[in-house]
């Protein structure tokens, strides 16, 4: 089968004369068909890749409230199963469990927005609430690993525009990573310092630990699925970068001057309404 393009024209000078051109366009038609098929395949692969990243990030992010849920549920059972059950303490644990479950569900829906091209509404975020709220989630894990987390927040920091659950996710990820790095490290003085300062029209948040640190520039840590941990997923910092960049901010990995790792996040106080993107 051949595809032909035929163009014909009646001659202007001679009444009965026609000029015709016949072109064999078979190769061009076949190429166009192949191109279309490739585009369909690429779109499919991109969708599958996004779904894979989405699944991995949800697994990573939801792990933390689920862990808290299991620990609090265990404590609740212990308060009830005592000879004299302590209903007040059990109720407090049950309330906390509802909060953790709510957080897990919030994370699922908000991580999903990271992969959609939809706009997210930003609200006023208070830096002290952001850091102390994140600390509350990591505190028990830090204590178990004998790691002290110190918050050092400048007084009178102005509030800024952001998406509080996602920003909390960033800070929790940085704190959990620091605690994990220190838990493998042979040291009696295990310290994570999280600070917040105003620098011009930006809020600068830093998470410094005195753990083993890393060699190289640390840029690779922000690539999806890059992990050096035996059971790591390697999505934490990739998610952090997506969230921070959706806030017109920057995140970088560096070295703590007194040894260990330093992760720095810089966020503008205000910015144009931004679209969260993949």
Question: Would you tell me which residues interact with ligand ADP (CB under 6 A)?
Answer: 173, 177-178, 181, 209, 211, 213-214, 221, 226-229, 232-238, 261
Question: Which of 163, 209 has the CB closer to ligand ADP?
Answer: 209
Report d(CA 144, CA 142) in Å as an integer. Answer: 5
The tokens describing 64, both together, are 């933390």
Are β-strands 123-125 and 148-153 bridged in parallel, bridged antiparallel, or unpaired? Answer: unpaired
**Could you tell me the smallest distance in angstroms from the CB atom of residue 111 to ligand ADP?**
14
Sequence-distant (6+) residues with CB within 8 A of 272 are 248
- Single out the residue of 50, 58, 57, 107 nearest to residue 237, CA to CA: 57
User: What is the C-alpha R_g of the chain?
Assistant: 28
In the bound state with ligand ADP, the residue whose beta carbon lies nearer, of 164 and 213, is: 213
When the beta carbons of 238 and 243 are compared against ligand ADP, the nearer one is 238
CA dihedral 245, 248, 252, 256 (to 10 degrees): -140
Minimal distance, residue 3 CB to ligand ADP, in Å: 52
Of the two residues 134 and 173, which places its CB atom closer to ligand ADP in the complex? 173
Residue with the CB atom nearest ligand ADP in the bound state: 236
- Residue 151 or 269: the one with the smaller Cβ distance to ligand ADP is 151
Q: Shortest gap between Cβ of 147 and ligand ADP (angstroms)?
A: 11
| CB-neighbour burial class of residue 82 (10 A; exposed 0-12, middle 13-18, buried 19+) | exposed
| Min dist. Cβ of residue 60 to ligand ADP (A) | 7
| Number of neighbours of residue 121 by Cβ within 10 angstroms | 7
In angstroms, give the least distance from the CB of 246 to ligand ADP: 17
């Amino acid at each position: 089968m051949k595809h032909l393009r035929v163009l014909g024209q009646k001659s202007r000078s001679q009444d009965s004369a026609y000029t015709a051109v016949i072109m064999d366009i078979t190769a061009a038609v076949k190429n166009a068909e192949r191109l279309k098929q490739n585009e369909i395949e690429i779109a499919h692969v991109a969708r599958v890749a996004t779904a894979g990243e989405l699944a991995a990030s949800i697994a990573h992010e939801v792990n933390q409230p689920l862990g808290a849920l299991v620990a609090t549920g265990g404590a609740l059972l212990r308060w009830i199963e005592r000879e004299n059950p302590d209903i007040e303490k059990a109720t407090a644990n049950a309330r906390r469990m509802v909060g953790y479950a709510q957080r897990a569900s919030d994370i699922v829906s908000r991580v999903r927005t990271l992969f959609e091209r939809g706009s997210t509404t930003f609200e006023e975020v208070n830096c002290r609430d952001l850091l102390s709220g994140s600390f509350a989630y990591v505190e028990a894990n830090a204590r178990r690993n004998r790691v002290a987390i110190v918050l050092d927040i400048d007084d009178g920091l102005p509030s800024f525009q952001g998406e509080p659950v996602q920003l909390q996710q960033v800070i929790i990820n940085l704190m959990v990573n620091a605690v994990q790095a220190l838990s493998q490290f042979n040291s009696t003085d295990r310290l994570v310092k999280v600070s917040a300062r105003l620098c011009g029209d930006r809020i600068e948040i830093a998470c410094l630990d005195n753990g083993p640190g890393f060699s190289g520039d640390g840029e690779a840590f922000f690539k999806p699925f890059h992990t050096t941990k035996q059971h790591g997923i390697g999505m934490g910092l990739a998610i952090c970068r997506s969230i921070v960049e959706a806030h017109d901010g920057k995140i970088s990995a560096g070295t703590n001057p007194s040894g260990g790792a330093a992760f720095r996040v810089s966020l503008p106080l205000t910015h144009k309404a931004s679209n969260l993107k993949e």
